[in-house]
Amino acid sequence: MSKSKIQKSNQEIIYIIAKSKGFVYNGENIFTYADWLAKGFRVIKGERAFSTTHLWTKGINRRKTLQSLFTIDQVVKIYTKELIMV
């Protein structure tokens, strides 16, 4: 009988890190830099990552890569100027 290695999901990994640092994680307040950009936010200049950890990549070739995590307090909404055509 072989023991299979149980792999944690990204959500579980982030939850464990947040809990160890005393931060309340609700699934919507900590994301990677790329995830915040995709949601329309940018990281405030000079902010250091809340934590860095190895997370699973999305796609066919799933592997772990080093990712920086940022909290909702470290990002601001991106406002874009709409071009007015005259």
> What confidence tens digit (pLDDT) does each residue in 59-72 have?
778 888 999 999 99
Dig out the tokens for 12 from the structure: 């579980």
Task: Report CA dihedral (16, 59, 36, 68) to the nearest 10 degrees.
Answer: 50
Nearest to 39 by CA among 72, 10, 14: 72
What is the per-residue DSSP string for 39-55?
TTEEEPTTPPPSEEEEE
Q: In this structure, what are the phi and psi dihedrals at residue 10, rounded to the nearest 5 degrees?
A: -60, -40
How do residues 15-31 score in pLDDT, each as one tens digit?
Answer: 999 999 999 999 899 99
